[in-house]
Structure 1
């Protein structure tokens, strides 16, 4: 039996899957690392942590592997998007990585619009200038840390830096590059025009490859550190959302994905490179060749639930924490939550807005609050679905993965609130499985990426909308959409009091 490794470099941990040719997860392990948050809105990590923890995880997999390491034919990666890693001429890291959920770059986003023009930016990059993207981070460093910027020789995205440390080769690939605001998405090339307009040398952009391309093998040092064979092929991999789509079989027209991790995503497959959503949702290159996907994002989806648990039920298991939410009626007994803990992205590109509980009274218990948080996350995701539907997309079946697929009550809430059939997969590995599929396809196990994904993914359960609940959620959704407008100014007034 042959095997591949799928490495998912997330925001809070790296997860590694060992997968065989039948698509079975033979082993899995996860290693966590911390966020560095020095100020409100700042979010960084030390890239060395990614390397150390991935090395530990791979070594653990190998130590528990009974076969020959030569049978582990390939390794590929999924990675958190948009993060900025700057390297000097010796490929040494110049500063901590600035992550996707860092919101310090509001000024730089405005600068991009002034230098490039909003219409031209959307024409070239298909996306608006938002704080989470990579280019605003580069401009922030240029403006605030000029001595660091002067030393920069190349920038990399998080998983691309990890792959560089494994292979010694510098590359990016299209699905992750599409989230930088420096890629011409339709032409699949770095935009020299955007680089010139914003004053970023085009030489900072690394060479581009396809997600399934083999970019090398392990260095002897890295093979020695992990126990893997030096002959293990290394494939480029993809952005976490692209890999989540691959790992969920979103590889043809009409397929839609709901992925609830730290952030939440509604993702829909596209074949065209010229659709116009006016920047309301993201428009990225897929990990499948010559394909694209559109995507709406809730910045603090699963993070809202984990935050609430950590603050009010620290040490309690997730299962115990959510126990009883099935007994709480639709609408959480008149309690509503907006998941704006770190700002919001879709449909409100707003780094200042913050979360709210609305309607709390003395009769509410903890389970009401837990269900309200879950409903609030789902309401936010439904705003993306609403945009897709308003633009003519038919969405009647959605594959749900991540934390939102681990609880049956939450899956039913998704079915009722989205008014669509929800499919839970047999394997909920998402981005890590997508990385493994890219490695399996790259290794030549199957003739197409679709064939590999079909083999590796399998539906387990379906959840059908309940008409009575659909009607109630449609009314509640109308109330939910009013909260942003009515709390926007209040949050702006509170900014000066934040740490």
Structure 2
């Protein structure tokens, strides 16, 4: 038997999926780790914990495979984008990994966005000016911690750091590089104006590699630790969003993919750069022939998790004798569409697309004495989906109406969520039975890298079963009335976001929480 391994280095866990050569799943392995939120706006990871998680899942996958009679064809990586890790001259970490969810650079991002240089950067890099980007984070670190900045010899992301540890090669694939705000998506090279704003030079950055590029000569101690066969190709892969599109077969401009996990995203792959004149969407390179257009949302499953934790009564859990999420889904299913006119804006972690405002804050609107916790719980889920719908409409306005919409991610465990998404988008939504699409996309890149596949199109031979959700007319009618109000209220509240965000920071300092 021949095997492929897809690795997904995510925000809260690293996963490995072991496939046979027909992409039948042989084994699934996961290692969790924390996000460190020691102060207001912080969202960091420990690079050593991430690296050990990668070692753990690869070793587990290899031990599950029968390599006495079989062969490992290769390993490829999907990683979360917009991570930043500063290294010294010996490639040792000077910081923890600053993730996409870290918002401490918000003031620097706001200032840059207001300048002519900021608008020009968006046109060249396709990356909205936002504190998520390594560009904004570098500007912030240079301002806040100049001594640390001067000590920095190498500017890495989690993938380039992993490959350095495994192969002593400091490289990054084009797609991850494109998410930094430092790469010109029209030329596929580091943008000198962006580097100057960040205060770094090209020598500090990883060398650029194609997603199908591979390394084969691993550091011997690491090879032995993971029991990796000699000369096994390790393929750079791409960022998680691009590989998720590939993994669900959304590889044409008329095929939209939606991912809903901790956060969420709406994406479409194109054959040319497409820049949004309203600056609501990103446009990143995947490789030299493909770009990906879409919008990432900070607030997805994490907001639902927050609501379930705070709104589910402990007594009800004991009476029903089920877990929190099963009970939450039952409650939502039993609550009328539209939550009796209660709206929720899910901006618990600021927001990226479509409003790109790190100061945004969540709210319930329309609350009356008649509303219950059940209404609030359903309104939270509806609010998450309304926000996704806003990005979906921006994407379709730019690239055209899709022929297919495929949704994947952890939300696929909730049937009520899947049906709600179809109702709010007012279109059929296809949900793959297997939701580890990023790992499958990585496996496809292994096939390309070793020459057994010529393009992403080969994925159509490996797509599994899907469940189709058709919109329900009665629910669609309700949501068509509520969605404009959702957007109207967000616009009315937007001027107050900076004030409340700054006040919250001041209060955190006052109480010693920052």
Task: For 1:77-156, list aligned pairs within 5 A.
Answer: 77-113=77-113, 117-156=117-156
Instruction: Give the conservation status (yes or no) of the 8 Å contact 1:324–1:367.
Output: yes
Q: Give the Cα separation in 1 of the matches to 2:123 and 2:497.
A: 32
Matched with 2:467 is 461
Relative to structure 1, is the Cα distance of residues 163 and 365 closer, same or farther in structure 2, using a 3 angstrom cutoff?
farther
- Please state if 1:394 is matched with 2:401: yes
Aligned pair in 2 of structure 1 residues 197, 105: CA closer, same or farther (>3 Å)?
closer
Q: Which digits, 9 at most, give the CA deviation of each residue in 1:298-326, with x for residues without a partner?
A: 21111101222334458935333322422
Q: Which residue of the partner structure matches residue 158 of structure 1?
A: 158
SS in 2 for 1:266: strand
Residues 347-426 of structure 1 mapped to structure 2, 5 A cutoff: 347-391=354-398, 393-426=400-433
Which residue number in structure 1 is paired with residue 491 of structure 2? 485
Moved more, 315-324 or 391-400: 315-324
Aligned to 1:258: 258
Secondary structure in 2 aligned to 1:461? Answer: strand
1:168-224 deviation line (CA, Å, top 9, x unaligned): 211111111111111001111111232235432222221111111113343211121
Per-residue CA distance 1:133-162 (angstroms, 9 max, x = gap)? 111111112122222211222212222222
Secondary structure of 2:216's counterpart equals strand
Looking at structure 1, the residues matched to 278 and 69 of structure 2 have their Cα atoms a distance apart, in angstroms, of 49
Corresponding residue for residue 291 of structure 1? 290
Secondary structure, counterpart of 1:236 in structure 2: strand
Greater shift in the superposed pair: 330-339 or 387-396: 387-396
Number of residues paired by the alignment?
A: 497
C-alpha contact (below 8 Å) 1:263/1:299 kept by paired residues: yes
- The 3-state SS of whatever aligns with 1:391 is helix
Q: 1:162-311 counterparts in 2 under 5 A?
A: 162-286=162-286, 289-311=288-310
The separation in 2 between residues aligned to 1:182 and 1:379, in whole angstroms, is 31
> What is aligned with 1:17?
17
The Cα offsets for residues 369-398 of structure 1, whole Å up to 9 and x where unpaired, read as 332221111100111122123336113521
Pairing partner for 2:438 from 424, 431, 435: 431
Give distance in 2, aligned partners of 1:102 and 1:134: 10
Query: 2:482 is matched with which residue: 471, 476, 479?
Result: 476
Shift in Å, 1:340: 0.2
Aligned partners of 1:115 and 1:197 also within 8 Å: no
State the TM-score, normalized to the length of structure 1: 0.94
Which residue pairs with 2:448 in the alignment? 441
Structure 2 contact 251–268 (Cα < 8 Å) conserved: no
Residues in 2 aligned to 1:204 and 1:136: alpha-carbon distance in whole angstroms:
17
Distance 2:201 2:50 in 1: 27
Conservation of the 8 A alpha-carbon contact between 1:74 and 1:232:
yes
What's the CA shift for 1:337? 1.4
3-state SS in 1 of match to 2:268 = strand
Q: Identify the residue that residue 319 of structure 1 maps to in structure 2.
A: 326
Displacement of 1:18 in angstroms is: 0.6
When the two chains are superposed, the root-mean-square deviation of aligned CA atoms in Å is: 2.1
The CA deviation at 1:19 is 1.1
Q: How far apart are residue 115 of structure 1 and its match?
A: 6.9
Per-residue deviation at 1:296? Answer: 1.2
Q: Please name the residue that 1:71 is paired with.
A: 71
- 1:443-486 Cα distance to aligned partner (Å, 9 max, x none): 333232221x1123234211112222222111110111122123
Cα drift, residue 491 of structure 1: 3.9
Residues in 2 aligned to 1:114 and 1:386: alpha-carbon distance in whole angstroms: 26
Cα distance in structure 2, aligned partners of 1:420 and 1:334: 23
Task: Give the distance between the partners of 2:114 and 2:382, measured in 1 at CA.
Answer: 38
Residue ranges of structure 2 left out of the alignment (5+ in a row): 318-322, 509-514
Which SS does the other structure have where 2:38 is aligned? coil
CA distance in 2 between counterparts of 1:445 and 1:427 reads: 23
Task: Measure the CA separation in 1 of the matches of 2:301 and 2:68.
Answer: 38
Question: In the alignment, what sits opposite 2:320?
Answer: none
Distance 1:398 1:296 in 2: 15
SS in 1 for 2:471: coil
- Which shows bigger deviation, 331-340 or 77-86? 331-340
* CA distance in structure 2 between the aligned counterparts of 1:317 and 1:227, rounded to whole angstroms: 39
Question: 1:290 Cα deviation (Å)?
Answer: 0.9
Cα gap change, 1:25/1:370 in structure 2, threshold over 3 Å: closer, same or farther? Answer: farther
